[in-house]
Structure 1
Amino acid sequence: MALNVLETIKKLVPCDPELLFLEARAYEAVGDTNNAMSIYESLINLAPDFPGSYNNLALLYAAQGNLKHAEALIFQGLATDTIYQTLYTNLNKLYVARAATFYGRALGFEQNESSEPNVALPLVLTDSKELHHNITPSDIPDSVTCN
C-alpha cells in the first residue's frame, strides 16, 4: 500500500530526495533489499552531501556480510557530515564485529584464515530514519537526471 502511494507520488516529483529516501526505507521494510539498495545508490548520486543514504546502504551491505563495502560507505558518509552520530555508531559496530571474528580465530574457534572476516554473528547496525538534512528538488544540480 505505502509503496503504491510512493510510486504514484514519485511520478509527480521524481527527484524529491525525501520521497526517494522514504521509498528506499519502504522497500527495506518489505524485504526488497535490491530495490532499496538501488534507490540509495541513486540518492547518493542525486544528493551526495547527505549521510543518511550512505548509512542505510552500508547497513544493507553489512547485512549481506560485505563489511569492507559497508565500511567504505560509512567513511563516505562521514566525509559529508563529520558529526553524524549514527555513522560513528555503525563504524564502531563494524569494528567490534571484526574484532570478535579475529579474536575467535586467535582462540581457534574458526578455522578460516582469510584476511577478511565473514561475519556470521548478528550484526545490527542503526539505520537512519530520515534524510537528516532538509533538501528539495531545487537543491539538485541541473545535470542530474531522475528516473
Structure 2
Amino acid sequence: MALSRFFAAVVACVILVSTPVLANEVQDINQQFRKGDLTGALDRANRYLVKNPKDAQARFLKGLILADQGKTNDAITVFTGLTEDYPELPEPYNNLAVLYASQSKYEAAKNALEMAIRTHPSYATAHENLGDIYAKMASLAYDKALSLDSKNAAAQTKLALIQDMIGGQPRKSAVAKPAAAIAARPVAAEPAPAASSAPASGAIDAAITRWAQAWSARDVDAYLAAYASDFAASGMTRANWEAQRRARITATKSIEVKISDLKIEQQGDTASATFRQAYRSDRLTSTVSKTLKLTLQNGQWRIVGETSR
C-alpha cells in the first residue's frame, strides 16, 4: 500500500514570513533540515517560533522534522494546529493523512484527505492518496471476510486484485526522508496555487525541491511538469526531449537526487538557481554543479534552462 507525494522541504502555498530577513531564516532552517541535521533544525525552528508563533512555514517545517525523527504524535499535533489556524491549506491535511495511515488509522486518514480535497478540489495528490486509502480499507475488509469464510471465492479474487494493484515498487524520496507511509513510498506534497504574498525565493526553493523529489520518485509526469513549455532542450524538440527523459528515468530501478548549497538570484519573473547535485541510481553515481534558469509562468516557477559542470 502506498501513499504518494508526502512531505516537501518547503510548501509554496503556505503563508510565508513577511520580511526578507525572516524568510531567509526559515530558508536556512529548511536547508539544515534537508542536509539531515534534524536536531539542529528542530532546535532552530523552535527558537524561531518562540518569536514568530504564527509563522505557517516554520510550523510546517517543524512538522516535517518531527515526522522524520519518528515523533509521529508530535508531528500530528503540529499539522493539526496548522489545519485549525489555516484551514484553507491542503498540505497539512495531506500530511496528517500519511501520518494517520502510518498508524493504521485509515478512517482518520480518509477524513483528512477529504478535507484537503474540499479546500483544494484540484489537488491531485489528495485524490490519489484517497484512492490508496480506499484500496487499503477494501483490502482489510476482504481479508476480514476471508477470515470469517475462507472459501469465499469472490473475496479471494477481489483481495488478490487489490494486492496486485497496490503491490508495486515503492518510491523513494529525495531531499527529505519522511517517516514511512504505507509501504514506505513517501514523496512530496503537490503545491496548491502559490500565494501571491509569498516571497519569490521561497517559492523557487519549493519548485526546485519538488523537481528533485519527482525525479527521485521516478514520477516522470511530475518531473516533466517542472519544465516550461519553451525549455531549451539542447537543440531537441520538446517531444523528443520528453521521450528521451521518460525512457532514461523509467529504465532505472531506483534514483536518489540530493541538493545542497542552493543559491538563488531572482530578478522580477526570472531567476537563476545554482547548487550541488548528488545523483545516484542503480546505474550511475555522479556529483555535479548545476544551474537552473527559471521563469514565473501562470503563478508557478518552471525551468527554462539547465546546465551542469
- Which category describes the TM-score, using the shorter chain as reference length? 0.7 to 0.9
Q: Aligned equivalents of 1:105 and 1:2: distance in 2? A: 43
Is 1:16 matched with 2:75?
A: no
Q: Deviations over 1:69-106 (max 9, x none)?
A: 11111111111000111101110111111222223334
Structure 1, 80-89 or 97-106: larger mean CA deviation: 97-106
Give 1 or 2: higher strand fraction. Answer: 2
Aligned to 2:111: 72
Q: 1:36 to 1:130 in 2, by over 3 A?
A: farther
State how 1:72-111 maps to structure 2 within 5 Å. Answer: 72-106=111-145, 108=146, 110-111=147-148
Q: Aligned equivalents of 2:188 and 2:82: distance in 1? A: 14
Structure 1, 121-130 or 94-103: larger mean CA deviation: 121-130
Q: 1:129 to 1:2 in 2, by over 3 A?
A: farther
Aligned to 1:3: 42
Normalised TM-score (structure 2): 0.37
CA RMSD of aligned residues (A): 2.6
Q: Letter of the aligned partner of 1:123 in structure 2?
A: I
Q: Report deviation, 1:130.
A: 7.4
Q: Aligned equivalents of 1:7 and 1:123: distance in 2? A: 29
**Residue aligned with 1:14, SS:** coil
Q: Report deviation, 1:63.
A: 1.2
Is 1:59 matched with 2:118?
A: no
Contact preservation (8 Å) 1:57, 1:73: yes
Q: Aligned equivalents of 1:54 and 1:48: distance in 2? A: 9
Q: Aligned equivalents of 1:60 and 1:101: distance in 2? A: 18
Contact preservation (8 Å) 1:18, 1:135: no
Aligned to 2:88: 49
Q: Deviations over 1:33-66 (max 9, x none)?
A: 1111111111011110000000111111111111
Q: Report deviation, 1:27.
A: 0.3
Q: 1:129 to 1:4 in 2, by over 3 A?
A: farther
Give 1 or 2: higher helix fraction. Answer: 1
Structure 2: 5+ residue runs without aligned partners? Answer: 1-39, 150-166, 168-180, 198-309
Structure 1, 4-13 or 123-132: larger mean CA deviation: 123-132
Q: 1:127 to 1:42 in 2, by over 3 A?
A: farther
Q: 1:77 to 1:64 in 2, by over 3 A?
A: same
Given candidates 179, 182, 188, the residue that maps to 1:123 is: 182
Q: Aligned equivalents of 2:95 and 2:79: distance in 1? A: 8
Aligned to 2:208: none
Normalised TM-score (structure 1): 0.74
Is 1:29 matched with 2:29?
A: no
Instruction: Give the aligned length.
Output: 126
Rg: which structure is higher?
Answer: 2
Q: Percent identity?
A: 26
4+ residue segments displaced more than 4 Å = 124-133
Q: Letter of the aligned partner of 2:105 in structure 1?
A: N
